């Protein structure tokens, strides 16, 4: 039997491609699985090869054995970003969607205990890196009239001081990236969504000063629920744009 990743059929050539950062865990992994279920080919980016392999395996075991391409990269490194983009284009020749789910935070979230090197790292991963990935993918997105989903935070929609100095600043900045894309790239058909999920039960919670217990996690959004919202945006008709989408659990105040 032919390897489904190497078959060059017309159906394969026209199937949409989504590039997902932070694809090794949490909402990024869930977004990859949801996109594959919807018939998209998925390119998986993150720094941890083993985690990406697990996501790819989850994708490839779905009905129809969807295609998954692992492109290990550090999204704070321009050469890594460009190499990842080039591998995707060499493999599939297109990028129709971009889901920016890589994120970082720290338990040290107050001005009184702020660690400035950590501040720089958080802003680099959460804000600077998405801008660089978008810039790298933009020519392909213009050609495809594609969609960008910035996986941001409820804290970027409704200020929450416990989210942290660096995290709040960086995630709020994603709103400006999304709005400028929509204002300046509308003629090319590129659309962007600032997606603001509330509390989500992922490993990211381990970075809170007080880690939630099992009961609190059970009341939160689950990654697959956020992934369905992401796919809703990706699958929108070409003339439809969701500028901002807020999704939260009813338990969140």
One DSSP character per residue, 59-93 reads HHTSTT---EEE----TT-HHHHHHHHHHHHHHHS
For the domain that residue 180 is a member of, what is the CATH number?
3.40.50.720
Catalytic site residue from 154, 167, 178, 199: 167
Condensed to tens digits (0 to 9), the pLDDT of residues 186-223 reads: 999 999 999 999 988 877 667 676 777 788 778 889 99
Q: What is the pLDDT of residue 4?
A: 39
Torsion region of 189: left, alpha or beta (phi above 0 gives left; psi -120 to 50 gives alpha): left
Residue 161: inside a domain: yes
User: Do the domain assignments include residue 28?
Assistant: yes
Whether residue 15 has pLDDT greater than 60: yes
pLDDT at 204: 64
* Backbone dihedral angles phi then psi of residue 197, each to the nearest 5 degrees: -80, 145
Taken in order 141, 144, 156, 33, the sign of the CA dihedral is: negative
**Phi-psi category of residue 71: left, alpha or beta, with phi > 0 → left and psi -120 to 50 → alpha:** beta
Q: Is residue 189 included in any domain, yes or no?
A: yes
Alpha helices (runs of H) in the chain, residue ranges in sequence order: 10-14, 26-37, 49-60, 78-92, 116-123, 129-144, 154-157, 165-184, 214-218, 223-234
Let me know if 167 is a catalytic residue: yes
- Rounded to an integer, the average pLDDT of 70-74 is 97
- Give residue 208's pLDDT: 74
The average pLDDT across 68-76 equals 97
Report the mean per-residue pLDDT for the chain.
91
- Per-residue model confidence as pLDDT tens digits over 118-134: 999 999 999 999 999 99
- Domain membership of residue 252 (yes or no) is no
The answer, yes or no, to whether residue 10 has pLDDT greater than 70, is: no
What is the pLDDT, as a whole number, of residue 205? 67
In a domain, 52, yes or no: yes
pLDDT digits (tens, 9 = 90+) for 50-61: 999 999 999 999
Distance CA 180, CA 185 (A): 8
> Which pLDDT belongs to residue 3?
40
Q: What is the pLDDT of residue 107?
A: 86
Q: 213 lies in a domain? A: yes
Predicted pLDDT at 125: 97
- Residue 238 within a domain: yes
Query: pLDDT-derived band of residue 2, with 50, 70 and 90 as boundaries?
Result: very low
| Each residue's pLDDT tens digit, 159-181 | 888 889 999 999 999 999 999 99
The per-residue pLDDT for 180 is 98
> What is the structure's pLDDT at 5?
41
Give the pLDDT mean for 73-88.
97
Q: Is the pLDDT of residue 9 over 80?
A: no
Q: What predicted TM-score, i.e. pTM, was given to this entire model?
A: 0.90
**Sheet holding 147-151: strands in order across?**
68-70, 41-45, 17-21, 97-100, 147-151, 191-197, 244-247
Q: Of all residues in the chain, what percent carry a pLDDT higher than 70?
A: 93
What's the domain range around 218? 10-245
Residue 91 belongs to a domain: yes
Total structural domains within the chain: 1
% of the chain residues with pLDDT over 90: 77
Angular region, 93: left φ>0, alpha ψ -120 to 50, beta rest? left
């Amino acid at each position: 039997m032919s390897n489904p990743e190497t078959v060059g059929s017309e159906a394969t050539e026209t199937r949409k491609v989504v590039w997902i950062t932070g694809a090794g865990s949490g909402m990024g992994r869930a977004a990859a699985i949801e996109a594959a279920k919807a018939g998209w080919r998925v390119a998986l980016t993150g720094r941890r090869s083993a985690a990406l392999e697990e996501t790819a395996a989850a994708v490839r075991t779905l009905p129809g054995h969807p295609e998954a391409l692992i492109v290990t990269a550090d999204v704070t490194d321009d050469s890594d970003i460009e190499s990842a983009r080039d591998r995707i284009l060499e493999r599939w020749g297109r990028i129709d969607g971009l889901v920016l789910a890589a994120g970082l935070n720290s338990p040290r979230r107050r001005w009184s205990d702020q660690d400035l090197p950590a501040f720089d790292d958080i802003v680099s991963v959460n804000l600077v890196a998405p801008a660089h990935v978008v810039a790298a993918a933009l020519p392909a997105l213009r050609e495809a009239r594609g969609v960008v989903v910035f996986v941001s935070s409820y804290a970027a929609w409704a200020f929450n001081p416990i989210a942290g100095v660096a995290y709040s600043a960086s995630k709020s900045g994603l709103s400006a990236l999304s709005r400028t894309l929509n204002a300046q790239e509308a003629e090319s058909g590129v659309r962007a969504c600032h997606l603001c999920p509330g509390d989500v039960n992922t490993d990211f919670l381990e970075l809170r000063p007080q880690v939630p217990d099992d009961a609190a996690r059970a009341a939160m959004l689950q990654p697959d629920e956020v992934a369905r919202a992401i796919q809703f945006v990706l699958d929108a008709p070409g003339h439809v744009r969701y500028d901002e989408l807020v999704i939260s659990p009813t338990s969140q105040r």
